[in-house]
Chain A
Amino acid sequence: DTAVSQTPKYLVTQMGNDKSIKCEQNLGHDTMYWYKQDSKKFLKIMFSYNNKELIINETVPNRFSPKSPDKAHLNLHINSLELGDSAVYFCASSQDWAQQETQYFGPGTRLLVL
């Protein structure tokens, strides 16, 4: 069974559209994250949630809105997509916020904005 899953795996869309990416973890972890990896492979954290509560919001444009309906899910909605949003988005989870030990990454969602 996949520990951290993301859908969709690939997303190609037009500039100005709104899209969502979903993430689910079956590890029983309390903390979930969204990372953005650009074309230069730089991994940058966007958001972190602990037990459904927002812990980190790394000056991400407010076009990006995360939502955590329960601690096993963390979805990412993006409004008015821009060319610069093209990247790979990784969801990850860890046991809890205080320890922040091993982070388990999902397979990634490759977003291309045309």
Chain B
Amino acid sequence: GQQVMQIPQYQHVQEGEDFTTYCNSSTTLSNIQWYKQRPGGHPVFLIQLVKSGEVKKQKRLTFQFGEAKKNSSLHITATQTTDVGTYFCAGLRGAQKLVFGQGTRLTINP
């Protein structure tokens, strides 16, 4: 079945450092979505990428979709304590179910 792998599983950084999480799919995706889950909270939609090679930015967050539409990354510049949480990618292939990666849990030392 469709697999979406996400690395790293955990990342601890000093406040102000950059952070990147990577997402890889075994199959070509029609789109990829990113979600953030704060500790004790629920996943909240961040962004959707659809086009090959697409890059989108939200303030300090940069999202990329690979040329082959099999991988994606989320990069946070100069992390802040409000960035703490688990970041999930979720891939969609055709009209099938959205498959979530395992998530990357980000913790930050202030």
Residues of A at under 8 Å CB distance from B?
40-45, 48, 56, 58, 90, 92, 97-98, 100-108
Contacts and interface: CB of A to CB of B under 8 A. Distances in A.
Contacts of B105: 41
Interface of B: 33, 35, 37, 41-45, 48, 86, 88, 90, 92, 95, 97-100, 102-103, 105
Contacts of A45: 97-100
A101 B95 CA distance: 11
Contact of B45 (A56, A58, A102, A108): A102
A90 B97 contact: no
27 contacts: A41-B37, A41-B86, A41-B105, A42-B102, A42-B103, A43-B43, A43-B88, A43-B103, A44-B100, A45-B97, A45-B98, A45-B100, A56-B97, A90-B42, A90-B43, A92-B43, A100-B98, A101-B33, A102-B33, A102-B45, A103-B33, A103-B35, A103-B45, A103-B90, A103-B98, A107-B42, A108-B42
Contacts, number: 48
A41 B35 CA distance: 13
B45 A104 contact: yes
A15 to B, nearest CB: 25
Contacts of B35: 103
B39 to A, nearest CB: 10
A96 to B, nearest CB: 10
A105 B44 CA distance: 7
A32 B33 CA distance: 17
A59 to B, nearest CB: 11
A103 B100 CA distance: 12
A109 to B, nearest CB: 11
